[in-house]
Amino acid sequence: MNIPAWFDRSKIRTTLDARPLLSAGEHPLQKVMEECGNLQPGEIYEIITPFPPAPMIEKLAAAGFDNYMETAVDGLFHTYFKR
């Protein structure tokens, strides 16, 4: 996937490494939905996961958020949401 024109690392306002939550058996979807709801227009939310968070991407896209995902060299997935 090409980097979208709206993506600017300097606009990342919140980063959540979801691995500890997932390891504890928790689902980060509700937390991410709430925190994305607090973004101002143009701000970006980043979540780090060990797998592509497809259901989360679909849910936030349905709520009107743009998204972009990268795979880091360590194999982790960095997903970005923009209001």
What's the CATH code of the domain at 63?
A: 3.40.50.150
Residue 17 located in a structural domain: yes
Residue 4 located in a structural domain: no
**Nearest CA-CA partner of 65 in 15, 7, 9:** 7
Residue 78 located in a structural domain: yes
Q: What is the pLDDT of residues 26-78, one digit of tens each?
A: 999 999 999 999 999 999 999 999 999 999 999 999 999 999 999 988 999 99
Q: How many domains does the chain have?
A: 1
What's the rounded Cα separation, in Å, for the pair 66 and 57?
A: 9
Residue 67 located in a structural domain: yes
Cα 46 to chain centroid distance, Å, stands at 4
Domain limits for position 38: 9-82
Contact 28, 73 (CB under 8 A): no
Q: 79 or 83: whose pLDDT is higher?
A: 79
Residue 69 located in a structural domain: yes
pLDDT at position 1 over 80: no
pLDDT given for residue 73 in this prediction: 86
Q: Where are the beta strands (DSSP E) in 7-76?
A: 12-17, 44-49, 66-71
Residue 3 located in a structural domain: no
Residue 2 located in a structural domain: no
